[in-house]
């Protein structure tokens, strides 16, 4: 069940109400008014050690503008070191599990690391039940953990194995795996109208289940190379009609860049604009290989870019041109994409890694602290919740979404009283410093522990079930794993040969 509303004031040794834009304030009291911030005022006395817990540093909660509610980590599945194109098939090497267990354990990790709003681009259906039932299980998991989610139904209708017709890539694979790969991965296209109807059905179920307050249902075309033009056009029209947000990958890797240039010579971003998809309702994950003129158009149309720094490093995709995005005025938000640097969903470390890469070399500043905070906290809620939602500030009237860090642990040297808390946060802050997390006035994490669910018990249950399923299916899952390894090996030469360019329309 969801955690209770927080009672009483929150006293903190330091408050970063609008990090990067306003200086930190010492010894402050925050009063809540229901799910919102009520008032903020100086404490009559100093926030003292020994008053029932550590001294606290309060900051706005973080947002995760691109993710998939994956529960099993990439290296565990044997996919470490694979580029995206060879990594994707590894997601299917374990059987589907109970969707509530998977989502709850994934959301709990996010909440423990300070995230209040997070995106779920639901590309991995666990199966075993009707889709709408599964979506509702994910919504229940979000409610019980206490986070808000954007739930984008993954939509696609082509190119199940590589960025070309399935038959073309199958003929390039070693013969021994072709049948198995075709059976598991070749696309069985579903008509656009049917895919849109599923989105409506899920949206109805979410409303009926009472999850409308914390779940925003979205269209989730997986990417241009995976979606036919009629499907993308239908989604653009439906989004215009319903106002629902759209969440899609774009230009994640060099091979997607090659494919886009070969198949959309007029420009892939221009194409999205021409079909009416490039709107303020759209979030584009990655854009790591976008060009300046494409970024300018994305900025002009008001779409959001979700940058996934660790994921782009982990999948060897590259480093997104964040300074260029900012220079063009793009709204840029942080995504973790299920692959934080330590595979632990640590959003604080993710923020620091992005800042280290993009703040500028030497005396140059290419990403300010204010821009960093908009990236990590302010802009993400819009991708998750749609409309004009934003985060990033602790101020009266704003949603009571806060992370409370153990200040004494963060400043464990305690030599200089005037040290800027934001300096220490950006130098060394990570999930281990988080004492409490509030989302909408509810205390969802306390003492580093998620309150709404028994996370260790659910995780143990999930792992036990997975081990049992793997043991029962020793032939099936294990031999599929071997097939995926062979497929990953064969895809390397396929992509390197440049055969994806122009092999399909
Ligand atoms: Zn992704």
Same domain, 56 and 161: no
| Residue 313 domain flag | yes
Confidence of residue 505 (pLDDT cuts 50, 70, 90): very low
Same domain, 301 and 436: no
Query: What is the pLDDT averaged over residues 230-248?
Result: 98
| Residue 468 domain flag | no
Same domain, 32 and 85: no
| Residue 19 domain flag | yes
For residue 420, how far is its CA from the centre of ligand 1 (angstroms)? 35
pLDDT in tens, 25-74: 999 999 999 999 999 999 988 766 545 678 999 999 999 999 999 999 99
Q: Which helix (H) or strand (E) holds 284?
A: strand 282-286
Residues around ion ligand 1, judged by CB within 5 A, are 337
- For residue 412, the domain's CATH number is 2.30.40.10
For residue 168, how far is its CA from the centre of ligand 1 (angstroms)? 25
- Nearby residues of 304 by Cβ (< 8 Å), 6 or more positions away: 65, 282, 283, 284, 330, 331, 332, 333, 379, 382, 383
| Residue 482 domain flag | no
For residue 67, how far is its CA from the centre of ligand 1 (angstroms)? 6
pLDDT in tens, 159-212: 999 999 999 999 999 999 999 999 999 999 999 999 999 999 999 999 999 999
Same domain, 143 and 41: no
For residue 306, how far is its CA from the centre of ligand 1 (angstroms)? 10
Same domain, 259 and 403: no
Same domain, 260 and 324: yes
Name the percent of the chain lying above pLDDT 70: 97
For residue 344, how far is its CA from the centre of ligand 1 (angstroms)? 16
Burial category of 162 from C-beta neighbours within 10 Å (exposed 0-12, middle 13-18, buried 19 and up): buried
| Residue 497 domain flag | no
Give the chain's end-to-end CA distance (angstroms, integer): 49
Count of domains forming the chain: 2
306: containing domain: 62-385
At which of 404, 430, 450 does a domain end?
Answer: 450
Confidence of residue 504 (pLDDT cuts 50, 70, 90): very low
- For residue 120, the domain's CATH number is 3.20.20.140
Same domain, 147 and 42: no
Tell me the whole-structure pTM to 2 decimals. 0.97
For residue 330, how far is its CA from the centre of ligand 1 (angstroms)? 19
Secondary structure of residue 66 in the 3-state scheme: coil
Same domain, 165 and 18: no
| Residue 23 domain flag | yes
Distance between CA atoms of residues 157 and 167, nearest Å = 15
| Residue 505 domain flag | no
Same domain, 216 and 103: yes
Is the CB of residue 60 less than 8 Å from the CB of residue 392?
Answer: yes
For residue 27, how far is its CA from the centre of ligand 1 (angstroms)? 40
Taken as a whole, the chain contains a residue count of 505
Same domain, 337 and 420: no
Same domain, 332 and 441: no
| Residue 472 domain flag | no
């Amino acid at each position: 069940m969801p955690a209770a509303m927080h009672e009483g004031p929150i006293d903190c040794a330091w408050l970063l109400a609008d990090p990067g834009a306003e200086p930190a304030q010492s010894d402050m009291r925050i009063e809540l008014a229901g799910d919102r911030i009520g008032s903020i005022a100086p404490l009559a006395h100093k926030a003292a050690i020994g008053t029932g817990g550590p001294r606290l540093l309060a900051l706005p909660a973080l947002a995760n503008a691109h993710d998939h509610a994956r529960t099993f980590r990439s290296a565990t599945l044997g996919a470490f070191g694979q580029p995206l194109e060879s990594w994707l098939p590894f997601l299917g090497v374990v059987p589907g599990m109970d969707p509530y267990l998977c989502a709850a354990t994934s959301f709990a990790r996010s909440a423990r690391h300070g995230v209040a709003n997070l995106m779920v681009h639901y590309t991995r259906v666990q199966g075993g039940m009707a889709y709408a039932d599964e979506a509702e299980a994910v919504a229940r998991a979000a409610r019980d953990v206490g986070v808000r989610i954007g739930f984008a139904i993954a939509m696609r209708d082509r190119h199940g194995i590589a960025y070309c017709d399935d038959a073309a890539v199958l003929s390039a694979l070693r013969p021994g795996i072709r049948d198995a790969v075709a059976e598991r991965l070749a696309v069985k296209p579903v008509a656009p109208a049917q895919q849109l109807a599923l989105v409506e059905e899920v949206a109805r179920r979410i409303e009926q289940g009472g999850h409308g307050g914390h779940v925003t249902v979205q269209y989730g075309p997986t990417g241009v190379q995976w979606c036919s033009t009629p499907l993308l056009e239908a989604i653009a029209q439906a989004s215009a009609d319903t106002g629902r947000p759209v969440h899609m990958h774009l230009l994640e890797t060099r091979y997607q860049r090659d494919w886009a240039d070969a198949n959309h010579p007029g420009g892939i971003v221009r194409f999205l604009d021409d079909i009416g998809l490039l709107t303020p309702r759209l979030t584009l994950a990655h854009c790591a290989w976008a060009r300046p003129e494409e970024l300018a158009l994305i900025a002009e149309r008001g779409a959001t870019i979700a940058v996934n720094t660790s994921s782009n490093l982990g999948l060897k995709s590259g480093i997104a041109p964040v300074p260029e995005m900012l220079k063009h005025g793009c709204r840029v938000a942080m995504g973790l994409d299920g692959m934080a640097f330590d595979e632990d969903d640590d959003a604080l470390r993710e923020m620091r890694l992005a800042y280290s890469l993009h703040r500028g070399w030497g005396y140059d500043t290419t990403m300010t602290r204010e821009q960093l905070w908009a990236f990590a906290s302010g802009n993400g809620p819009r991708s998750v919740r749609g409309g004009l939602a934003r985060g990033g500030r602790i101020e009266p009237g704003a949603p009571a979404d806060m992370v409370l860090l153990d200040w004494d642990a963060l400043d464990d040297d305690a030599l200089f009283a005037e040290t800027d808390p934001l300096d220490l946060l950006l130098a060394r802050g990570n999930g281990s410093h988080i004492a409490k997390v509030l989302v909408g006035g509810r205390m969802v994490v306390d003492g580093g522990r998620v309150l709404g669910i028994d996370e260790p018990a659910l995780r143990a249950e999930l792992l036990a079930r997975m081990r049992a399923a793997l043991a029962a299916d020793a032939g099936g899952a294990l031999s599929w794993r071997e097939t995926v390894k062979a497929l990953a090996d064969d895809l390397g030469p396929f992509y390197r040969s440049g055969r994806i360019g122009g092999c399909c329309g």
